Amino acid sequence: EVQLVESGGGLVQPGGSLTLSCAASGFIFSDYWMSWLRQAPGKGLEWVANINPDGSDRYHVDSVKGRFTIFRDNADNSLYLKMNSLRGEDTAVYYCARHFGGDTFDSWGQGNLVTVSS
Amino acid sequence: QSALTQPASVSGSPGQSITISCTGTSSDIGGYDYVSWYQQYPGKAPKLMIYDVSKRPSGVSNRFSASKSGNTASLTISGLQAEDEADYYCSSYTSRITWVFGGGTTLSVL
């Protein structure tokens, strides 16, 4: 069974940093593209970033470019999102998700809340 | 990247059929056959219901079907059941090598 478990969220002040982790199991992690997505309270879903299987290629949505970095450790079956210069509008539940066929997300973690507030 | 446009809410009675539309542009829905639909219950993670415009993952009921015409995709749920009451989101791959989502549609089963 595919399992994705996020951790590392919490309350952080504006301008602060946080690193989210996603532990993967139940599949060959190093074979898959992976993404981070987020959902602000009461709002819709937003794709944030993705990374290719060996970690050499990555993309980020414009609103987080230069502030967030996605990376992975295939030896540890883990996905990460390093978030710097956090803003109030980054407050959201962050999900890690596995790509299927490259263009959809077939498995999602349970989500991890990040709150940016003073 | 602008979000895809979905109705905020739809409703139907048990046993009826409903359709949720999702409108984008030629840079997303109209340009690729990479439209997905997700179901989300309050406080839960989204669940993939449809991918590649009209394909159902294993385990998803055949009461769920979808299609695309031009820049608009549609999700149809037939034989509505109480358990179908949830939020539904459409998504598309885009020409900027990103993914865009709709604002979500709340389905009420009356």
Q: Are A20 and A114 in contact (CB under 8 A)?
A: yes
A100 touches B at CB < 8 Å: yes
DSSP string for A46-69: EEEEEE-TTSS-EEE-GGGTTTEE
Which parts of chain A fold into alpha helices (H)?
A: none
The candidate with the shortest Cα–Cα distance to B34, out of B80, B108, B77, B98, is B98
Residue of A nearest to B105 (CA): A44
As a whole number of angstroms, the distance between CA B78 and CA A21 comes to 39
Measured between CA atoms, how close is B14 to chain A, in angstroms? 26
B60 touches A at CB < 8 Å: no
Q: What are phi and psi of A89, to 5 degrees?
A: -75, -5
The answer to whether residue B2 scores a pLDDT higher than 70 is: no
DSSP-derived pairing of the beta strands A92-100 and A104-108: antiparallel
List the pLDDT tens digit at each of the 118 positions of chain A.
999 999 999 999 999 999 999 999 999 999 999 999 999 999 999 999 999 999 999 999 999 999 999 999 999 999 999 999 999 999 999 999 999 986 899 999 999 999 999 9
The candidate with the shortest Cα–Cα distance to B87, out of B46, B56, B26, is B46
Q: What is the mean pLDDT of chain B?
A: 95
What pLDDT score was predicted for residue B3?
A: 86
The answer to whether residue B1 scores a pLDDT higher than 70 is: no
